[in-house]
């Protein structure tokens, strides 16, 4: 499996040497970040992965942002308030802010951005307008804009973190195929080059409203194999690498050259999606059985080295229901549930049958995307086979996986990970019907109705009661094989003076302080 990436990795290493030899030395050398996969698009209305959001948040900004405590805070809007009906939110824009192409940030830009999201011809994938039940956008004056919603949405600002505001002239006059690789925003960096399959380069925006960033240039490169990322860090060809294993972190820490290791409990929920519209997967007993079949203790000991806990449902601490228990490893219970669902092995070959057809199916797994993903996927399939469900892994490159996700053609089981916005409403929303990333096909009238009530509920106790009930329902219905809440490890070069990784896994360049920048100042 790894051999197919050999040529790609050689090309990546060659690119590293080329960039290092382009006259960048000392403080002029671009800060180089290695990520496991490269971006597919940088049009924020089609962006679907954390890698893409990470790059974009350094180029573009929204009305609100997420701070290091994962709470929504003002960004392009200085402040906001909601009217007594709780269906009209007024945002007051920062004066004097300009987009990188010179266009002004104003109410027209905000209105254009949200209307572009809703443009049926564009067929955007961003869910923000739908999630906040947006009815219309009102330009109150040049620097004041009002979002009208069809119903109260208690945590509306939290949904706006990924709603990056766009310059109207540029995005209305430039073909969509061009803007996907040439984003323009108000952010700290300008994207200056994107060589597909090689690197993305961005340079500090001198006109940024917070002041010119201290790191002059940044290069992002996709390097799929973790050991290759580690070698480039050790050789000095990279300054920050992401998605490394516990063992690699321990091996790198304290190495000659001043390498530092950074770690954080992230909000990523790694799971196996169950397509409930496929054969026996419509029976919740079968879905529950697959959860009981997974020996997660063995997985965490062997592959995660104790970092990362199994999820009980889809909501993360501190908003999780403490009374909802994780599925324990119980293969006997799994087999009993499968028998209750009328799945039988009539010919003694070890494979259960559904309506006389052997239960043989595929699971789509993206390569080199999730920490220890390949190893854990193989461990899970072995556990499922042990209870009579014969699962064959179908390995997909990340772009192919995303394409299948968009086309809704993923296999009956699919290995995936979703980041969190650290609010119970958004965590629960990952299994709502209609969400493009949710291919489970799970539809439950009680969930749909209570989730709608949760969106409109403002009091803490009332929200907690609804949220706790929904978490218990999801655990019982099991549209996922619940795996783990991921723990993230990063490693950085001696150039880094100070940096604290974020729980949302995003790398915001202004948060990084370099030693040479300290020297210059």
Dump pLDDT digits (tens) for 271-322: 999 999 999 999 999 999 999 999 999 999 999 999 988 999 999 999 999 9
Q: What is the DSSP letter of 104?
A: B
pLDDT at residue 22 greater than cutoff 80: no
pLDDT at 237: 96
H-helix segments, 101-238? 107-117, 128-131, 156-159, 168-173, 176-179, 226-235
Which candidate, 421, 82, 111, 65, places its Cα nearest to that of 209?
65
Q: What is the pLDDT of residues 391-427, one digit of tens each?
A: 999 999 999 999 999 899 999 999 999 999 888 998 9
Mean pLDDT of 504-509: 96
Lowest mean pLDDT: which of 14-23, 285-294, 499-508? 14-23
Beta strand pairing call for 413-418 and 260-274: antiparallel
Q: What is the C-alpha to C-alpha distance for residues 126 and 261, in angstroms, rounded to an integer?
A: 34
φ, ψ of residue 153 to 5 degrees: the values are -130, 105
Inter-CA distances, 364 with 74, 268, 300, 404, 461, Å:
39, 19, 22, 9, 40
Characterize 30-47 residue by residue with b for buried, 16 or more Cβ atoms within 10 angstroms of its Cβ, and e for exposed.
Answer: bbbbbbbbbbbbbbbbbb
Q: What is the C-alpha to C-alpha distance for residues 86 and 152, in angstroms, rounded to an integer?
A: 5
Which candidate, 44, 63, 33, 66, places its Cα nearest to that of 244?
33
Chain-centroid distance, C-alpha 448: 23
Burial class of residue 133, CB neighbours in 10 A (0-12, 13-18, 19+): middle
Q: What is the DSSP letter of 33?
A: E
Strands (E), 275-381: 309-310, 353-354, 357-358, 360-366
> What's the chain's average pLDDT?
92
Q: Is the pTM of this model over 0.75?
A: yes
pLDDT at 518: 57
Lowest mean pLDDT: which of 6-10, 364-368, 471-475? 6-10
Cis amide prior to 318 (ω within 30 degrees): yes
φ, ψ of residue 225 to 5 degrees: the values are -95, 125
Three-class secondary structure of residue 32 per DSSP: strand
Helix (H) or strand (E) holding 341: none
Q: Would you put residue 259 in left (φ > 0), alpha (ψ -120 to 50) or beta?
A: beta
Residue 69's contacts (CB-CB under 8 Å, 6 or more residues apart) are none
- Would you say 291 and 481 are in contact if contact means Cβ atoms under 8 Å apart? yes
Question: Which pair of structure tokens corresponds to residue 487?
Answer: 């723990």
Which candidate, 214, 248, 207, places its Cα nearest to that of 230?
248
Q: What is the C-alpha to C-alpha distance for residues 261 and 244, in angstroms, rounded to an integer?
A: 10
φ, ψ of residue 62 to 5 degrees: the values are -110, 180
Three-class secondary structure of residue 293 per DSSP: helix
pLDDT at 7: 36
pLDDT at residue 339 greater than cutoff 80: yes
pLDDT at 27: 56
pLDDT at 17: 40
Q: What is the C-alpha to C-alpha distance for residues 286 and 353, in angstroms, rounded to an integer?
A: 12
Burial class of residue 115, CB neighbours in 10 A (0-12, 13-18, 19+): middle
Q: What is the C-alpha to C-alpha distance for residues 412 and 300, in angstroms, rounded to an integer?
A: 25
pLDDT tier for residue 204 given thresholds of 50, 70 and 90: very high
């Amino acid at each position: 499996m790894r051999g197919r990436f050999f040529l790609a990795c050689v090309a990546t290493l060659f690119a590293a040497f080329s960039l290092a030899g382009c006259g960048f030395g000392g403080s002029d050398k671009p800060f180089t970040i290695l990520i496991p996969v490269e971006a597919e698009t940088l049009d924020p209305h089609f962006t679907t992965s954390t890698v893409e959001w990470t790059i974009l948040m350094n180029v573009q900004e929204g009305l609100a942002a997420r701070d290091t405590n994962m709470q929504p805070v003002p960004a392009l809007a200085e402040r906001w308030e909601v009217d007594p009906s709780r269906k009209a939110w007024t945002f007051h824009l920062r004066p004097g802010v300009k987009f990188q192409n010179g266009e002004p940030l104003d109410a027209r830009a905000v209105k254009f951005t949200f209307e572009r999201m809703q443009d049926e011809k564009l067929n955007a994938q961003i869910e923000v307008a739908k999630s906040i039940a947006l009815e219309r956008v009102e330009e109150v004056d040049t620097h004041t804009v009002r979002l009208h919603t069809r119903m109260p949405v208690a945590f509306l600002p939290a949904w706006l973190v990924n709603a990056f505001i766009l310059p109207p002239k540029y995005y209305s006059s430039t073909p969509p195929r061009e803007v996907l690789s040439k984003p323009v925003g108000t952010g700290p960096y300008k994207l200056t080059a994107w060589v597909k399959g090689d690197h993305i380069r961005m340079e500090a925006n001198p006109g940024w409203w917070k002041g010119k960033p201290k790191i002059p240039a940044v290069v992002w490169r996709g390097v799929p194999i973790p050991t290759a990322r580690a070698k480039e860090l050790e050789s000095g060809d990279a300054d920050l690498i992401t998605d490394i294993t516990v063992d690699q972190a321990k091996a790198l820490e304290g190495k000659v050259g001043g390498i530092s290791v950074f770690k954080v409990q992230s909000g990523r929920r790694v799971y196996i999606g169950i397509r409930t519209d496929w054969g026996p997967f419509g029976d919740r007993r079968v879905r529950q059985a697959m959860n009981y079949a997974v020996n997660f203790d063995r997985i965490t000991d062997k592959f995660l080295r104790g970092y990362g806990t199994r999820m009980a449902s889809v909501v993360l601490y501190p908003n999780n229901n403490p009374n909802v228990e994780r599925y324990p490893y119980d293969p006997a219970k799994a087999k009993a549930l499968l028998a209750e669902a009328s799945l039988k092995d009539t010919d003694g070959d070890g494979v259960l049958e559904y309506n006389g057809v052997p239960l043989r199916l595929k699971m789509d797994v993206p390569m080199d995307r999730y920490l220890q993903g390949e190893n854990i996927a193989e461990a899970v399939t072995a556990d499922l086979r042990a209870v009579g469900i014969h699962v064959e892994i179908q390995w997909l490159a990340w772009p192919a996986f995303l394409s299948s996700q968009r086309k809704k053609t993923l296999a009956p089981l699919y290995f995936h990970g979703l980041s969190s916005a650290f609010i119970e409403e958004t965590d629960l929303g990952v299994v709502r019907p209609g969400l493009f990333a949710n291919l489970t096909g799970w539809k439950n009238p009680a969930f749909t109705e209570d989730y709608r009530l949760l969106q409109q509920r403002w009091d803490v106790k009332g929200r907690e009661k609804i949220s706790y009930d929904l978490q218990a329902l999801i655990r019982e219905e099991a549209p996922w094989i619940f795996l783990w809440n991921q723990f993230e490890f990063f490693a950085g070069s001696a150039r880094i003076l100070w940096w604290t990784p974020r729980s949302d896994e995003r790398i915001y360049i202004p948060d990084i302080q370099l030693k040479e920048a300290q020297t210059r100042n």
